[in-house]
Amino acid sequence: MTPSHDFHHLLLEDRDGVRVVTINRPDKLNALNFAVIAELDAAFRAIAADPAVRAVVLRGAGEKAFVAGADIGELATLSPIQARHFSQHGQKMMRGVELLGKPVIAMIRGYALGGGLELAMSCHLRIAADNAKVGQPEINLGVLPGFGGTQRLLRLAGRGATLELCLTGAPINAQRAFELGIVTRIVPAEQLEAATFALAAQLAASAPQALRGILDAVQIGGECGIDAGLDYETQAFAVCASTHDMREGTQAFLERRKPVFGGD
Ligand code: COA
């Protein structure tokens, strides 16, 4: 059962182990206000606690945007103390997405700007329609990215591209974002949904403990030194050896059949 009724700005739907989270403010291009961020935080906590959810698709409602950024109307009224709280609120929610332990795919149609790109970068995979536009335009508002953009873009695309995008605020198209490693796949707009859900279904059918090991090992390796990353990889590898899924995966290979990963 999905607790959609608890949310005003999100639509939640379950499709065979995939939870689809749709930010539903299309009239404001799905801009992130305080309430949307709080709901995303709650939705991802529920996903973390639910073993039936094995992969997530995060998307925005409507044809025009994934998310066009933090809500500028709200931003305009913030005191410094409120701005600090808003930044921490968004950062905490996005850190929760990043550390979820289950793969999250950002499905990017149209604009992923500012907080929208920051949110997409906290996801593990980003599939963009060929008409997508991404950027960090905060500089045009006299401010800087506040939900982790300077840090995650740096890690994804390097210092040069990060400074180019953040200092100029100019958006880039899907092809350029792909070349820079900011999006992981591009597909024609009309195939975006099918490609995203095919990938999500593949992930949801994979062994969850192995997926988690990969996500955590890459995260730790990216944030700590190689020795910490290698050590974690070993521990995660050993944990997999305790699962039925690893027995099933190896046995299915030897028996020349398709594995069925039950998640235990
Ligand atoms: N916050 C609040 N509202 C936003 C928004 C945001 N980040 N982005 C778009 N909207 C609203 C617009 O105000 C407009 O609302 P209205 O119809 O009530 O006036 C509605 O969404 C549609 O946007 P509009 O600007 O009319 O669409 P467009 O196709 O002309 O332009 C964009 C699309 C994305 C280029 C433009 O909306 C834009 O630049 N948005 C802000 C992007 C940004 O700076 N993000 C970083 C914020 S920190």
Rounded mean pLDDT, 6-27? 97
Ligand 1, atom 44: nearest CA belongs to which residue?
137
Q: Is the pLDDT of residue 4 over 90?
A: no
If you average pLDDT over every residue of the chain, what do you get? 97
Catalytic annotation, pick one of 13, 39, 74, 118: 118
Q: pLDDT at position 3, please?
A: 57
Distances (CA, A) of 5 to 43, 60, 133: 12, 18, 32
Q: At 203, is the pLDDT very low, low, confident or very high (cuts 50, 70, 90)?
A: very high
User: Strand 104-108 and strand 133-135: pairing?
Assistant: unpaired
Can you tell me the distance from the alpha carbon of 47 to that of 2, in angstroms, rounded to the nearest whole number? 10
Atom of ligand 1 nearest to the CA of 145: 48
Active-site annotation holds for 118: yes
Any ligand 1 atom below 6 A from CB of 118: no
For the segment 123-154, what is each residue's pLDDT rounded down to a tens digit? Answer: 999 999 999 999 999 999 999 999 999 999 99
Q: How far is the CA of 193 from the centre of ligand 1 (A)?
A: 23
Atom of ligand 1 nearest to the CA of 73: 2
For the segment 88-122, what is each residue's pLDDT rounded down to a tens digit? Answer: 999 999 999 999 999 999 999 999 999 999 999 99
Q: What are phi and psi of 163, to 5 degrees?
A: -65, -40
Q: pLDDT at position 251, please?
A: 97
Any ligand 1 atom below 6 A from CB of 178: no
Tokens 């290979």 correspond to 253
Q: pLDDT at position 146, please?
A: 98
Q: At 2, is the pLDDT very low, low, confident or very high (cuts 50, 70, 90)?
A: low
Atom of ligand 1 nearest to the CA of 143: 48
Walk me through the domains of the chain, giving residue ranges and CATH numbers.
10-204 (3.90.226.10), 208-254 (1.10.12)
Q: How far is the CA of 145 from the centre of ligand 1 (A)?
A: 16
Q: Higher model confidence: residue 127 or residue 6?
A: 127
Q: Cβ atoms within 10 A of the Cβ of 80, count?
A: 7
Q: pLDDT at position 6, please?
A: 81
Can you tell me the distance from the alpha carbon of 221 to that of 65, in angstroms, rounded to the nearest whole number? 32
Active-site annotation holds for 138: yes
Any ligand 1 atom below 6 A from CB of 147: no
Rounded mean pLDDT, 161-169? 98
Any ligand 1 atom below 6 A from CB of 132: no
Phi-psi region of 37 (alpha: psi -120 to 50; beta: other; left: phi over 0): alpha
Can you tell me the distance from the alpha carbon of 151 to that of 224, in angstroms, rounded to the nearest whole number? 14
Ligand 1, atom 41: nearest CA belongs to which residue?
68
